[in-house]
Amino acid sequence: MTISGKTQLCGVIGDPVAHSLSPALHNAAFSHLKLDFVFLAFRVKAVELQNAMQGMRGLGIRGLNVTMPHKTAVIRYLDDVESNVKFLASVNTILNEDGRLVGFSTDGIGALHALRENGVNPAGKKVLLLGAGGAAKAIAYTLAQEVEALCILNRVAEKAAVLADNLNRLFGKKIVGGALSPSAVQKNLQEAEILVNATSVGMHPNVNQSLVAPDWLKPDLTVMDIVYNPVETKLAKDAKAAGARVISGVEMLLYQGAASFEIWTGHVAPIEVMRTAALNQLGKVETK
Counting beta carbons within 10 angstroms of the beta carbon of residue 100, is it exposed (0 to 12), middle (13 to 18) or buried (19 or more)?
Answer: exposed
What is the rounded distance in angstroms from the CA atom of residue 179 to the CA atom of residue 183?
A: 10
Where residue 90 falls (left for φ over 0; alpha for ψ -120 to 50; beta otherwise) is beta
Q: At what angle do helices 249-265 and 107-117 cross, to 10 degrees?
A: 120
CB atoms closer than 10 angstroms to residue 93? 25
| 181 torsion bin: left (phi>0), alpha (psi -120 to 50), beta (else) | beta
What residue type is 136 in one-letter code? Answer: A
Q: Catalytic one among 34, 45, 71, 159?
A: 71
- Measured CA to CA, the distance from residue 160 to residue 79 in angstroms comes to 30
| Spatial contact of 168 and 195, defined as CB atoms under 8 Å apart | no
The full DSSP string for 52-75 is HHHHHHHHT--EEEE-TT-TTGGG
**Cα–Cα distance between 90 and 80 in angstroms, integer?**
13
Q: Alpha-carbon dihedral of residues 61, 67, 70, 75, nearest 10 degrees?
A: 60
71 is catalytic: yes
Active-site residue set: 71
